Amino acid sequence: MLFNSFEFLIFLVVVLFLVWIIKNRNYQYIILLLASYYFYWFSSGMFFLLLIFSTLLDYYCGREIYNIDDKKIKKRLLLLSLVGNLGILGFFKYTNFAITTFNKLGFNFELLNVILPVGISFFTFQTMSYTLDIYFKKLKPTDSLLKFALYISFFPQLVAGPIVRAIDFIPQLKNRILFSYSNIKWGLSLVGWGLVKKMVFADNVSVIADSIFSNPLDKSSFLIILGAFAFGIQIYCDFSGYSDIAIGVARMMGFSLPLNFNKPYFAKNPSDFWKRWHISLSSWLRDYLYIPLGGNRRGNVVYTNLMITMVLGGLWHGAAYNFVLWGFYQGILLVVYKLISDKIRINSLISFIITQYFVFMGWILFRVKDMSHIIYSIKKYVLIDFSLIGVLDFFIINKTPIFLLLLFCYLHFNSFILKNTIDRIRFLKLRYWFLYVLIIVVMLLLFTPSETAEFIYFQF
């Protein structure tokens, strides 16, 4: 069930109404839990049983890890949780990737008919963080299976994040849900902007990236650079748009979800970029992988830790070699930055330009799957040929997507300068806020393509 679909609108209105008319806290949470399971069942069918499996596994593992004093048993329970969650993630997401890899080495295994459940990478990481936090004594387990199940399955962020920590969400379940004017206004402001990001900008700008990278071998450097830039804007608008809608829907019910994007295309170094891009994943990788590996504490081993973390982060995005390359590439950027940051001082503007140049080059690895296409595109991106053949025709054919690409850049720059744009909007007087809503509706009516695509991160 897509956020930008009529079905979701009806679903959301019904859920909000039911939660509003019910005054008992537990009944409200039961309605939300059932709605979340229905939401996932609608998107993935019987795979919602995997969600229930992970919920039961980690609820009971977390409880026993906390109650049992024997350290060996604690470790076994943690191992059971990790193997259970990573096992289902590995089977559904990486089995055919592993078979394909072995076949390239000379084996002849048949591929399995495995379907990837929507959002499995997100909810397995979320549920694992619960048992890990209990094991490392950062969290006490909840005594309510209902609350834990709702934490794992909460429908706004279930299939594409943000990845929420139990320590942040479960305490919000102490009181019954009360709807307030300020929360409704705040939530709708976020939802409206998220829909515009997705349907107006991402889905239109995707035409540029798709037409260039469907077969880049005859494209000039200018078009390759334009394609990389367009895809960078597309994936940002697509994914941050989803996050805005998820955070906005949760806010309407009074729940606070963590910020997932913070103007990543204004980052001044690779480390800064990962503090701004997909924050819930990058912080998860930092806390549950990078730091346990040793983090910054083991001298030169820190570079190995960075590479392992980013390669696995790339593989988390998808079972394909281009994602592994993208993760390796991001690791290289972080290692190089760490090596030179204490020795060389670079002007902030120059640092920003260099960082974004390499960030957008990395999107080629993320977007293009064919290795020969990747090599050609990177070569054209780096070794500029200054050819303008076909560029004018491309602009004429794609004038609307080009216009929307430029419009987004203008709006994005202004939101960076003004800061806290949504806060400014939600505090507008009602007549001005309605004008904002009207602008959102007009943009959606004028520029929404006839066919909108699935959110990119649904495949992860």
Active-site annotation, residues: 317
- Do residues 230 and 208 lie in contact, with contact meaning Cβ atoms separated by under 8 Å? yes
Q: What are the tokens at 340?
A: 């030179």
Eight-state DSSP code of residue 346: -
Alpha-carbon distances, residue 302 vs 255, 272, 311, 327 (angstroms): 37, 17, 14, 16
- Do residues 78 and 132 lie in contact, with contact meaning Cβ atoms separated by under 8 Å? yes
Query: What angle do helix axes 120-135 and 71-104 make, rounded to 10 degrees?
Result: 150
Alpha-carbon distances, residue 50 vs 30, 32, 40, 44, 46 (angstroms): 19, 18, 11, 10, 8
| Nearest Cα to Cα of residue 340 among 287, 270, 250, 245 | 270
Alpha-carbon distances, residue 239 vs 201, 309, 345, 434 (angstroms): 12, 21, 33, 26
Q: What are phi and psi of 276, to 5 degrees?
A: -115, -25
How far is residue 413 CA from its own chain's centroid?
22
H, E, C per residue of 171-200: HHHCCCCCCCHHHHHHHHHHHHHHHHHHHH
Q: Is the dihedral of CA 382, 385, 388, 391 positive or negative?
A: negative
- In whole angstroms, give the CA distance from residue 235 to residue 205: 10
Alpha-carbon distances, residue 71 vs 68, 154, 249, 433 (angstroms): 8, 32, 41, 56
Neighbouring CB atoms inside 10 A of 422's CB total 16
Helices (H), 196-220: 203-213
- In whole angstroms, give the CA distance from residue 28 to residue 136: 32
How far is residue 162 CA from its own chain's centroid?
6
Classify residue 405 as exposed, middle or buried by CB count within 10 Å of its CB (0-12, 13-18, 19+).
buried
Query: What angle do helix axes 48-67 and 145-153 make, rounded to 10 degrees?
Result: 130
